[in-house]
Amino acid sequence: MTETTNVTGGALHELGEEECLRLISPGGVGRVAFNGSHGPTVLPVNYRVVDGAIVFRTRAGGAMDNDLRTGSEKVEIKIAFEVDEIDPVRHEGWSVLVQGPFHHVTGDEAPGTTAPQVQPWAGGERDHYVRVTPWRVTGRRVQNL
C-alpha cells in the first residue's frame, strides 16, 4: 500500500486487490462506465459479488444492453465498474475500480449467477443478468491523520 499526504493533512493510500474485493463484497450500489452509442456513459446499478464476479440486472433491449453487445459470440466489451464510500463530514472514504469484460448471462448460466437475487431499485422489467469478471482491481483510501 502506497501512501501520500495532501495539503490538508489527509493521507491517500493505494489499496491492494484483496482489500478492494473485501470492501465491495457486501454489494450495494456501484457505477458502470462504458463507451456508449452517445459517448462516455456512467450508470448506477445495484450489484452483488458472486464467486468473485460483479453481478447486476438491467433491462433487456435497454441502452446498456444494446451498447454492450458485440454481435459476436464469446467477444465481450471491457467496462469499468466503480464503488465508493465517502464520509463528507470526516473527509474520508475509499474508492474501488474494477475493470473487466461485460458478460451477458445466458439461460444455462443463470442458476449460479441469479441465485443471489440482485434487486434493482429502478422500476420496470430488469430480468437481464450481467456479470463482470475482474481483470484489474485498484483502489484508494483517504484518511485523516
Task: Note down the domain range covering 21.
Answer: 3-144
Calpha distance 17→21 (Å, rounded):
6
Query: At 30, which CATH number?
Result: 2.30.110.10
User: Model confidence over 59-115: pLDDT tens digits?
Assistant: 888 778 788 876 666 668 899 999 999 988 888 999 999 999 988 887 666 656 555
What is this structure's pTM?
0.82
pLDDT band at 6 (very low <50, low <70, confident <90, very high): very low
Q: Look at the chain and report how many structural domains it folds into.
A: 1
Q: Which residue matches cell numbers 462506465?
A: 33
59 exposed, middle or buried (CB, 10 Å; 0-12, 13-18, 19+)?
middle
